[in-house]
Structure 1
Amino acid sequence: MGRKKKGNIHYGHIIYRNLKRRISRTFLLSAFLFFMVFMIFSFTSILNSMREGLDSTVKRTGADILLVPKDYFSSVKDALFLGIPSTVYFDSSLEEKVAKEEGVEKVSSQMFLATIYNSPCCDEAVQIIAYHPESDFLIQPWIEKQLKREIPDGEIVAGSKLSYKKGDTAMFFGKKFPVAGKLKETGMGYDNTVFLNFNTAEELLKEPVVKNYLAIGNKKEVVSLITVKVDKKADIQKVVRALQDKYEKDNVSIETSGKLMEDTRHALKQYTTYFTFVEIILVAFTFESLLSFFIITMSERKKEYGIIKSLGGSTFKILSITIGEAAAIGIIGSLAGSFLSILILTLFRNFILLHLKLPYLRQSFSDLMLLTVFCTGLSVLTGVFAAILSSAAIQRKETYTLIRENE
């Protein structure tokens, strides 16, 4: 640290020498702040990723109303939000019926197929989603924006997390597919998904391994998800209720896209409440520990402070040394905690995604810097406040008393 000269006392040098001379104390105090910052940084990063993933899923789901088989509602949600492979299907004739209902502007359908894990017929376990480019208002605009065209028959498009790149060949259910392109990261289950059109899917359904393994049999007209866009003049809830009254008897779940993520949003609120409570406890525990250490340190250094006062140093200047030490310790602990948190979140990203069931774990450089600044500020303020409170007893004592008290 540079020297800050005031009178005959170099305060910056004194702070540096004090921290270096009491290296074990400096390390211990930094360790408290390091642990606090590490936990707060990690919790906040994970919560932000969950929130961004949820918002991205709701935004990209885009439909006003979703129709899925009643027993597979959670499977569809996991496929969209987490990219967990699942095979879901029901009779496609419902699509035409819904399109004729009052208040419905657009209708399209998708089909979900899960490839076979650890099988020679499939390169890897992924979610396959088939859709109709001509009627789809969710996937097609997004794919067309990136590829500048529709997916050709017999070809696929790969999500960002899959190992394929444009020009590769992928094999699913014993059938080979040229990869027409690779999509950018979305922060939802689409990143682990392979997309193809319904013409290609119908050819795939003819494969014996699909009929046998996925239990589709000879069914040709099947879908997994029907998406509905409601007319702007219509009331979405009224349309939902009308569809529920008419079609729920067919074992179909009819919900808004927000309902699809309701459980996940509720879980996110619970996580936020839990993490906030833990963070408050961490800050309180760290503050109490620092306060205790500074009180003990101030008592041990009474003679040192008395000598500084006898050389012309004021009580305020003595306090500035203590605050400077606390601030330096806070910066050391917070930067180390932030760095380790970023390192662990990067190195163990896939492990965290798998066990916490997150769609992605990513923050921009600016977000990381803002979080680092926040944690550093919190760490420094915690240390400085503890130092100020612990120095109250020193401020009231005379110079002679401070020099002689511990003898």
Structure 2
Amino acid sequence: MSVRISLARLPLENLRRRPFRTASLITVVAILSVAFFGGSMLAMNLNKGLTSMEERLGADLMVVPQATESKAEALLTDGTPNTFYFTNDIESKVAKADGIAQITSQTYISSLAAACCAEKLQIIGFDPKTDFVIEPWVASQYDGTLADGEMVAGANVNVSTDGTIELYGRSWPVVAQLASTGTSLDNSVFVNKATVPQMVAASAKVSKQVMPQEYASKAVSSVLIKVKDGYDAHTVANAIARTDPQLSSVGFVYPGGVTASTKTSLNTMLSYMLVFVAVLWAMGLIVMLAVFASSVNERKKEFASLRIMGATRGMLTSVVIRESMVTGLAGGLIGVAIASLIVFPFNGYIGKQLQLPYLQIGIGMSLCLALIALVFAVITAVLASLFVVLRIGRPEAYLTLREGE
């Protein structure tokens, strides 16, 4: 029994009857789509993470103990949790320097591997009354007063169903959990300064004490400064170093510089990624051109027969373009699906391996990017098919038929 094939069904039938050629074209388009969609998603997530980091830094200058600058910088980006601190009253001495608009201090403690997390937590003690870095962020999601012994958890911290976190063999109540920032703050918990001595005492019962008990009530890991208008952070740092002999050897971290260096690293990586995608796209287009070109000779007879049966060149062009659109759409869907299975489930792992601020963009933006990737895939396939389209328009039907005999 013969099956009638209409001109509308012809593109799909042609693809079905040439499975190897069709699979080859779809595979090439899928690879291009993985690179385009995955690379674009990665770039946008990194940009969002960097923007989030800039918003969360807040300070123009950080004063830290000598030789701990790298540890402090790691806390701003995505470093390993650390414990370091001054052993004397440093904040009041720093506050005497000229050019300071706001000043506050924080204490950093690295926990043991907690029951809530696969890795260590960074415990950050801050003063809600003076803090201008963490407190505004906390206040946007928690309007209460952080009491002694209570915690605010970062986005990646798993809080128990009873609303607690177990640290140093003790359960600590969690009053709020913050939105994701794409930085190491997501793996941190925040307590007021009065809770730090409780943490130190608890650590002594289950492991090595994180710091001597006599320092627990006054330990300061960093002094954060917002400089006055018209002052430069480096100028204020020099003023601090001259204020007191004990401050001459302290370390300084400039969050703006950390952001700038992070942005430089990000731009370098994105440039390499752009070159890679461009080269891959060019190679893919060449491969697809070769596949379409090789099909010209084997399809001469097919095209000539259709012309003799009354098909116009426009109809044949439509058939070829629709074939390429189908392969492009199929390859694009497969590529976007593969990239999504890599990017979304392993979002946290990717951010950790890159060691850069990494924050997943919203679902709306992701869907728009997926749509753009599909359009990109279809356009690429259509461009590659133009070689066949141009060849269709050249010889007359009967000459092509004779060439194919």
The normalised TM-score by structure 1 is: 0.89
Q: Structure 2, unaligned stretches of length 5 or more? A: none
Does 2:104 match 1:108?
A: yes
Does 2:314 match 1:319?
A: no
**Aligned structure 1 segments of 4 or more residues deviating by more than 4 angstroms:** 120-124, 244-249, 358-361
Going from structure 1 to structure 2, the CA distance change for 1:51 and 1:68 (only over 3 Å counts) comes to farther
Which residue pairs with 1:31 in the alignment?
A: 27
Moved more, 228-237 or 331-340: 228-237
Which residue pairs with 1:3 in the alignment?
A: none
Which of residues 322, 329, 334 in structure 2 aligns to 1:336?
334
Alignment of 1:110-259 (within 5 A): 110-117=106-113, 125-164=120-159, 167-207=162-202, 208=204, 212-216=208-212, 218-220=214-216, 221-243=218-240, 250-259=248-257
Going from structure 1 to structure 2, the CA distance change for 1:214 and 1:384 (only over 3 Å counts) comes to same
Q: Secondary structure at the match of 2:113?
A: coil
Q: 1: distance between equivalents of 2:178 and 2:127? A: 18
Contact 1:115–1:122 (CA under 8 A) maintained in structure 2:
no
Aligned length: 399
Which residue pairs with 1:59 in the alignment?
A: 55
Q: 2: distance between equivalents of 1:51 and 1:87? A: 29
Q: Secondary structure at the match of 1:181?
A: strand
Q: Secondary structure at the match of 1:129?
A: strand
Q: Residue by residue, what CA displacement relative to the aligned partner does 1:281-305 show, whole Å, maximum 9, x if unpaired?
A: 1100110000000001122101111
Alignment of 1:5-84 (within 5 A): 10-82=6-78, 84=80
Q: 2: distance between equivalents of 1:404 and 1:121? A: 76
Q: 1: distance between equivalents of 2:206 and 2:107? A: 13
Q: 2: distance between equivalents of 1:380 and 1:122? A: 44
Q: 2: distance between equivalents of 1:339 and 1:260? A: 36
Moved more, 244-253 or 66-75: 244-253
Which residue pairs with 2:303 in the alignment?
A: 305
Q: Secondary structure at the match of 2:268?
A: helix
Q: 2: distance between equivalents of 1:318 and 1:205? A: 79
Q: CA deviation at 1:12?
A: 2.7
Give the AA of the match of 2:219.
Answer: V
Alignment of 1:309-388 (within 5 A): 309-388=307-386
Which residue pairs with 1:5 in the alignment?
A: none
Higher relative contact order structure (alpha carbons within 8 Å, sequence separation ≥ 6): 2
Moved more, 13-22 or 290-299: 13-22
Moved more, 296-305 or 234-243: 234-243
Q: Secondary structure at the match of 2:148?
A: coil
Aligned CA-pair RMSD: 2.7
Moved more, 197-206 or 310-319: 310-319
Q: 2: distance between equivalents of 1:224 and 1:264? A: 23
**Identity in percent:** 29
Q: CA deviation at 1:36?
A: 1.1
The normalised TM-score by structure 2 is: 0.89
